[in-house]
Amino acid sequence: MTSPQVAAQRVWQHRLGWRRLGNVDPNFGEMLDTSARNRERYYDMLRAMTPVQRLARAASLSRAVRGLALESIRAEHPDATPHELQVRLAVRLYGPELARRVYGEVPSDAR
């Protein structure tokens, strides 16, 4: 079964050309550190949700990951402007090539 996160990742891969940029983890969406029993329980939980509930859960997780990443960047670069923080976040989430496409220049130490 494909989780909503994996499905969204595949859409973004296609729409943004991530395959060409080399930013796609071939194991994305695989729960490699989870037992088969717990993985099945997780999929059962997803199956019990409506599509709207699954989308809401995925959006919530996405916001949480972005928030954690942004706080990490802010701690590493306390004097960064809001624009610089957004550029650095784009590099962290989507890679330097895509960040350059969107923002132009990116800091050389952005990772």
Domain boundaries, the chain: 4-103
Neighbours of 6 (CB within 10 A): 14
- pLDDT score for 103: 92
Of how many residues is the chain composed? 111
Counting runs of H as helices and runs of E as strands, what totals does the chain give?
6, 0
- DSSP label of 4: H
Do the Cβ atoms of 23 and 99 come closer than 8 Å? no
Distance CA 78, CA 24 (A): 30
Cα of 11 vs its chain's centroid, Å: 13
- pLDDT score for 21: 43
Q: Would you give per-residue pLDDT tens digits along the chain (111 residues)?
A: 556 666 666 665 655 554 444 455 556 567 777 888 988 898 899 899 999 999 999 999 999 989 999 999 999 999 999 999 999 999 998 899 999 999 999 888 888
Pick from 15, 46, 47, 42: which is nearest to 31 by CA?
42
- What three-state secondary structure class fits 79? coil
pTM over 0.75: no
Tokens, residue 35:
């037992």
